[in-house]
Amino acid sequence: MKIDQDESQNIEYKESWNDKYLEWICGFANAQGGRIFIGVNDAHEVTGVKDCKRLMEDIPNKIVTHLGIVADVNLHTDDGLDYIEIVIEPSNIPIAYKGTYHYRSGSTKQELRGTALQQFILKKMGRSWDDVPNERATLDDIDRNAIDYFLRKGIEAQRIPDDLREASTKDVLDSLGLIDNDGYLKNAAILLFGKNPLRFFPSVAFKIGRFGKDEADLMFQDIIEGNIIQMADRVMELLQGKYLVSPVRFEGMQRYETLEIPKEALREILYNAIAHKDYAGPDIQMHVYDDHIEVWNEGELPEGYTEETLMGNHSSKPRNRNIANVMFKAGFIDTWGRGYMKICEGFEAAGIPMPKVQNFCGGVRVSVQRTKFLEMMNIADDVTSDVISLSPMQLTERQREIIRMINENERISAAEMSRVLSVVVRTIRRDLNEMQEKGIIKREGNTSAGKWIILRGS
């Protein structure tokens, strides 16, 4: 006889019993459950087992003794050949074999260690990493400005009552479930509102890099640190002022400047990366190229979810439940899994290609095409710089002051600029280098006798 079921995520075939298969039973119990057939070869043909009476006693006893679970062990006969079927149900608590946790993933068995083990145990216990209390943190580690920012946003979104506006920091955190029964702050409280989350966690930052042809060609970069409730605002400000463009168009006498990527859709991408990041992993990373942008955060899509799932109707499965709850109450995200649908709506309205979402290197990568930027660059090749100008939002306030000073004195030095602006010369030189890389200004002549030329207006 041949069993008509392929070996898969939930089925294994073994010709004979070996105690090491207790690891496979452990892996099935920690995953979605499964079945192991003993006395069946890889071709699904029944080869039979010897001494099945002893095995029918030994296998259930060993499963209970070593794993602490009960599995159905069934004896079958075909053409005079006995074979055994072991049926393992998924466990709602973590199962270990000799102190080691195994997990069935695809058609392989994996031994869970480190961060993967931590996340697995928390998930089995119905908790998320951001729900774990941190015994080192106190209310002194919380930034009241971040609390006030959250309250203002939540009240504006009508998701928290106005009478919380003057509530104490402790009362606000209590109302959000961010203090445990023993009075300890949870990880989420520090991430969301901490004065210096990096003091507690090594990877609470958003890295942005401007690249040339490939990842090896890094032109300039920035790192945004601090609490994550305000992180999206800080990232958006930097993107608008330094990394993205706002092409100018005229309708009659009216001047319009629109960011190349729809603001609300881009903000939604940022919120997703921040809210669903695995904070035991590396920083969030954004790669900005001429033709596209990539946003990557540690932590893959929920099991069974694909790009098609996200773009359609689906349930919300937040990795960090407390963080997601706070961001919902602040009006940043919803709890119905509509985030990517809203992103698609924004991209469609702007007439640009839909973003691509995929699991990549242990996390989620969102790729966005920069069609508007490429169009602007193509136009700029054909017209004078007076027609196409950069948005003021592409320059920081200090850089706009530098432009103003160059307009007044094209031979002004970096040292003179630093004195006027009350910053160190190194900072001015960094601004000048960035503005030259972006094609806003250029330098003619040597350091002492040269002059600055403005290439594109601001």
Return the percentage of the chain with pLDDT > 70, whole number: 91
Amino acid found at 105: S
Please state the rounded mean pLDDT for residues 164-188.
95
- CA distances 426 to 394, 411, 443, 453, Å, are 21, 18, 17, 20
Quote the CA–CA distance of 379 and 240 in Å, as a whole number.
Answer: 21
Evaluate whether 62 touches 84 at the Cβ level (below 8 Å): no
Q: Alpha-carbon distance 40 to 36, whole Å?
A: 9
Task: Give the span between the Cα atoms of 154 and 167, in whole angstroms.
Answer: 13
- CB-based contacts of 67: which residues, under 8 Å, 6+ apart? 22, 25, 26, 29, 95, 96, 97
Name the amino acid, one letter, at 365. R
The model's pLDDT over 356-401, given as tens digits with 9 standing for 90+, comes to 999 999 899 999 999 988 887 765 445 434 434 444 446 777 888 8
234, pLDDT greater than 70: yes
Place of tokens 């990232």: 235
Q: Are 204 and 225 in contact (CB under 8 A)?
A: yes
Question: Alpha-carbon distance 229 to 208, whole Å?
Answer: 18
- Alpha-carbon span 360 to 348, nearest angstrom: 25
Tens of pLDDT along 425-443? 888 999 998 888 877 888 8
**C-beta separation of 86 from 36 below 8 A:** yes
User: Which residue carries 């039973």 as its tokens?
Assistant: 25
**What number is the average pLDDT over the span 305-329?**
87
For all residues of the chain together, what is the average pLDDT?
87
pLDDT at 383: 42
CA distance 91 to 124: 9
Q: Is 387 exposed, middle or buried (0-12, 13-18, 19+ CB in 10 A)?
A: exposed
Q: Which two tokens stand for residue 109?
A: 């068995």
pLDDT in tens, 119-158: 788 878 777 889 999 999 999 999 999 999 999 999 999 9
Of 63-67, 124-128, 175-179, 323-327, where does mean pLDDT reach its minimum?
124-128
**pTM exceeds 0.85:** no
Q: Is the pLDDT of residue 39 over 70?
A: yes
